[in-house]
Amino acid sequence: MKRLILASASPRRRELLKQAGAVFEVIPARGEERTTKEHPQDIVMELALLKAREVAEAIEDPEAVVLGADTVVAMDGRILGKPKDRADAVAMLTSLAGNTHSVFTGVAMVQKKDGRITNFFEETKVTMYPMSREEIEAYVDTGEPMDKAGAYGIQGKCAIHIEKIQGDYNNVVGLPIAGIYQRMKKGFS
């Protein structure tokens, strides 16, 4: 296996790679996340590629493979990023409660030596149970929603409010690890 570099500071992405047995190092991308795209799947693919390319350009090792990722929550064509404040988190969770939304994660793998790129996205549909205002506020008060797209963590305290998912659970956490592994087997091993 070539040197694998994760271009993300996300503790959830690190944990998923460790769980899969990957040997990797972390060099977070630092650039500003700006997109020229409109649709969630295109946005996450573009941002993942920008992150992976930024780190690939900064390293010397020609054998390295840089892995970039970006995740968004989308509902009714609207992207729900990380909440700006408590009121924003409450508003997001109020709109998600009792409804189905999509979680898109874009992935980019850049081979330093030849510039080869693999860029794809995964979509997982998540249905949440209805939540009372008190439940939403109690969850927001835990602080957990504040650094997560869509203002919730499926792997945390919000798990009790998830009715069902269609697709890859790990994608909702932040990295579709099975999809990455399958693509790496085909061209990045």
Q: Which positions are catalytic?
A: 70
- Any residues with CB less than 8 A from the CB of 27 and at least 6 apart, and which? 5, 6, 7, 55, 58, 59, 66
* One-character DSSP codes across 129-146: ----HHHHHHHHHTSGGG
Burial of 157-168, coded b for 16+ CB within 10 Å and e otherwise, reads ebeebeeebeeb
Q: Are 52 and 111 in contact (CB under 8 A)?
A: no
Q: How far apart are CA 148 and CA 121, in angstroms?
A: 18
- Any residues with CB less than 8 A from the CB of 84 and at least 6 apart, and which? none
